[in-house]
Amino acid sequence: MRIILAAAAVVMLAALAFAAPWLQFVLTLAIAKGFAALGVAVLLRAGLISIGHAMFFAASAYGAAFLARAGINDLGLLLILSVLVSALIGAIAGSFLVRYRAIFFAMLNLAVSMVFYALCAKLYGVTGGTDGLPVPIPAVFGIVFAEPVFKSILFYLSLMLMVLVGLVVHRYLDSPLGHALSAVHSNEIRLEYLGIPVWAVLLIAYTISAALAGLGGAIAGLAIGRVVPDFAFWTASGHLVLIAVLGGIGGVPGAFIGALFLELLHSAAVTVTDAWNLFVGITLIVVIMFMPQGIYGLFERKEAQSS
Amino acid sequence: MSRPILEAKNLRVAFNGVKAADGASIAIHDGEFLAIIGPNGSGKTTLLNICTGYIRPISGSVLLDGNDITRMSPRAIARRGVARAFQIPQLFSAQRVIDNMMLALAAKDGLWSAIRPLETAERRDEAKALLELVGLDGDTDRISSTLPEGHRKLLDIAVALALKPRLLLLDEPTSGVSALERFPLMEALMSALRQRRITALFVEHDMDVVARYASRVLVWNAGNIMAEGRPDEVFGNAQVRERVVGVA
């Protein structure tokens, strides 16, 4: 039942983008943010809230810009290398951040990401300062397409990656390592007494979550065509937490549901009022009060009732 | 007698001036069921904490198979075949009973096979067999936080058994377990320990349980050993009867 629903949702998204090509950009950005929110959701399973994951989102987008400037002009290669950059930064930052818990973990992530933001904004000669850097349209299998065609290709590639990466992350969360990650939230003492190294479990999760945020950042950079320091600003990190909570952390689709919901809500709300945040705020209040498992929790509950 | 599996020598530990171990030494040999009894606050749980690396003594050493493990972490000691069940059950309370068991089995088998799911038919069967052993086969799919206290205790013991230890440390295994379930649990536990050749050290307040199941009893009082020997010898000691058992 769950697989049928997920497949139907993917087909519907593809059809929607085909029928209304102007939506492709919005949906690509939503999927990109969905990847980053999935990274945040992975850590939320261990009870760790990161208010700094926009750093990895931005690092990967900057990575794509630098790599393009260095002459790497292939979409696949750019995506892979950018994700590796963010995963590497994640592994380095994670090696000391995962020693902390609760508010200390959240604040340290915030602090590190703000240092990164400041560097991006101030190192004008390297990063272009607040103007940022362009991310040129790369070739796809050696062919350079016109911008509208490339944006379509990027959307359908993102959609495909959402399915593939989603399945891989689902497998990871269902593995002993994924269950150990959830168990960190329940009882670290018991994990240690089982002989499981909590630090290593968390470091792997942190690196995976950074790679996911990085994948989102690379897609966003390519979709927008530019990367600016605001990608790493703390409000962007807060936005990712909001998406994860809104969508629900009970399963992989939650992050993408939250991102799609929020992007579409934003797109609709800005046509009515400048105060679109009002809609977002009210929605979040409703979700937290009446749907503590997020929007995805509704599907899970329905499925549990029907079985 | 063979070389001890676990030896604690000249342990000294104090909390705010109160001595939990004051130069005491203990040893447990292969195949023994050593019971540690003593008044509340005498340092029995502290002894288990030291032996499993949770607390480091001020002085003294802990040897496992003759190797010094005094400064090792609980994780490192667990990987050397020492498992523990706690006085207050330490469970993954948000997860199902079966998941608690399967994670323990996976920890033993190799946690790093990240591609295979936690739940395999083989692992589920093994987990169910252990749950059946402690009488929790009816609670397999319950979330462990919803179990009554006695059942949580049983699950904690089953999780420790899932590690297939050589040495099992049990902190008050029958506390919180109903009087009706106490002896059936101990029978099942002892049978599992014998079948799997697991040596056990258990802290216990129920003297009937100690008298029936311990092969040796050690009386711990104010950080020292007050008496030691076979259950009938120890319970025949007037000082022990007066101060620990509560019978003059």
The answer to whether A190 contacts B74, with C-beta atoms less than 8 Å apart, is: no
Q: For chain B, how big is the Rg over CA atoms in Å? A: 18
ipTM of the complex: 0.90
Q: b/e per residue, B149-169, with b = 16+ CB within 10 A?
A: ebbbbbbbbbbbbbbebbbbb
Minimum CA–CA partner of B73 in chain A: A192
* B159 touching A (Cβ < 8 Å): yes
My answer on whether B115 and B4 are in the same domain is no
Residue matched to tokens 């959240």 = A106
**Domain end call among B111, B146, B164:** B164
Does residue B172 share a domain with residue B160? no
**Rg value, chain A, Cα:** 19
Q: Please, what sign has the CA dihedral across residues A83, A85, A86, A87?
A: positive
- Is residue A82 within 8 Å of residue A67, measured between CB atoms? yes
For residue B20, the model assigns a pLDDT of 78
Q: How far is A120 from chain B (nearest CA, A)?
A: 36
The reply to whether B146 touches chain A by the CB within 8 Å rule is no
- CB proximity list for A11: less than 8 A, separation 6 or greater: none
Q: Does residue B248 register a pLDDT over 60?
A: no
* Average pLDDT value for residue range B218-222: 87
- In 10 A of CB B245, how many CB atoms? 16
B153-163 residue pLDDT tens: 889 999 999 99
Question: Which run of H or of E encompasses A19?
Answer: helix A2-19
The Cα B165–Cα B105 span in angstroms is: 11
Sign of CA pseudo-dihedral B214, B216, B221, B227 = positive
Mutate to test the interface with A, among B111, B155, B166 (most CBs of A within 10 A): B111
Name the DSSP class of A251.
S
Helix, strand, coil: what percent of chain A each, to 5?
80, 5, 20
Among B134, B164, B194, the domain-final residue is: B164
Q: How far is A174 from chain B (nearest CA, A)?
A: 5
Residues B69-84 as b or e (16 or more Cβ within 10 Å = b): bbebebbebbbebbbb
Question: Domain check: are B178 and B73 in the same one?
Answer: yes
What integer best gives the mean pLDDT of chain B?
A: 88
Question: What would the two tokens of residue B99 be?
Answer: 């998941």
Q: Identify whether residues B72 and B1 lie together within a single domain.
A: yes
My answer on whether B100 and B57 are in the same domain is no
B155 lies in the same domain as B175: no
| Amino acid symbol at A151 | K
- Name the domain boundary from B146, B164, B182: B164
**Is B94 found in the same domain as B61?**
no
Give the distance from residue A185's alpha carbon to the nearest chain B alpha carbon, in angstroms.
Answer: 8
DSSP label at A227?
E
Alpha carbon distance B13, B213 (integer Å): 29
Q: In this structure, what DSSP letter does residue A143 have?
A: B
B74–A179 CB contact, under 8 Å: no
Take residue A300 and report the two structure tokens written for it: 């899970």
Q: Do A179 and B163 touch (CB under 8 A)?
A: no
Q: Which amino acid is at A79?
A: L
Going by their DSSP bridges, the two strands B199-203 and B33-37 should be labelled as parallel
On the question of pLDDT at B1 being above 70, the answer is: no
Task: Determine whether B22 is exposed, middle or buried from the number of CB atoms within 10 Å of its CB (0-12, 13-18, 19+).
Answer: middle
Work out how many domains chain B is built from and give that number.
Answer: 2
Question: Looking at the structure, do residues B4 and B20 belong to the same domain, yes or no?
Answer: yes
- B-chain residues near A195 (CB < 8 A): 75-76, 78-79, 107-108, 163
Q: Please write the tens of the pLDDT for every residue from B179-202.
A: 888 888 888 888 888 888 999 999
Range of the domain at B57: 1-81+167-248
Residues B159 and B97 reside in one and the same domain: yes
CA-CA distance, A58 to A119, in Å (whole number)? Answer: 12
The tens place of each residue's pLDDT in chain A, 307 residues long, gives 778 888 888 888 888 888 888 889 999 999 999 999 999 999 999 999 999 999 999 999 999 999 999 988 899 999 999 999 999 999 999 999 999 999 999 999 999 999 999 999 999 989 988 999 999 999 999 888 889 999 999 999 999 999 999 999 999 999 999 999 999 998 999 999 999 999 999 999 999 999 999 999 999 999 999 999 999 999 999 999 999 998 888 888 899 999 999 988 888 888 887 777 888 888 888 888 888 888 888 877 776 666 6
Same domain as B149, residue B246:
no
Residue type present at position B78: A
Find the angle CA(A256)-CA(A258)-CA(A259) to the nearest 5 degrees.
65
Instruction: Tell me the C-alpha to C-alpha distance, in Å, between residue B179 and each of B130, B182, B208.
Output: 22, 5, 11
Q: Are residues B234 and B185 in the same domain?
A: yes
Gap between the Cα atoms of B77 and B195, Å rounded: 23
Spell out the domain ranges in chain A.
25-233
> Is B2 in the same domain as B77?
yes
